[in-house]
């Protein structure tokens, strides 16, 4: 249930640095982050907002500033579909799967 999140929309599943994530072209306010997920904003070289990304695990940051995307770091065409954060959590973080948390792609 989306009770603690201000994110009612279904978001596109993508991959960012090899991690399955959710993408939206809308900005997500800091108080709207789904519990247990990390929020990142994609910007172009001019600093213009391009989209918000939610990941189930934090992405390591660089000491010298924002991470630059290299070819293959962002995969938008995964064909996986659109999910709300709670549906995404159910897909990848369900504790019922062999008693272990799951991150990343399904087998």
Can you give the pLDDT at residue 12?
Answer: 94
Of residues 60 and 71, more confidence is placed in 71
- Left, alpha or beta for 36 (phi > 0: left; psi -120 to 50: alpha)? left
Interacting residues of 43 by C-beta distance below 8 A, sequence separation 6+: 49, 50, 66
Between residues 57 and 78, the one the model is more confident about: 57
pTM over 0.95: no
* Average confidence (pLDDT) over 21-32: 91
d(CA 39, CA 99): 26
């Amino acid at each position: 249930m989306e009770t603690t999140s201000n994110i009612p929309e279904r978001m596109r599943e993508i991959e960012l640095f090899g991690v399955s994530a959710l993408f939206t072209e809308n900005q997500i306010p800091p108080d709207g982050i789904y519990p247990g997920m990390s929020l990142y904003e994609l910007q172009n070289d001019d600093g213009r907002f391009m989209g918000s990304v939610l990941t189930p695990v934090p992405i390591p940051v660089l000491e010298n500033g924002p991470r630059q995307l290299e070819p293959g770091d962002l995969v938008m065409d995964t064909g996986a579909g659109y999910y709300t954060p709670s549906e995404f959590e159910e897909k990848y973080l369900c504790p019922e799967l062999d008693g272990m948390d799951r991150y990343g792609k399904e087998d």
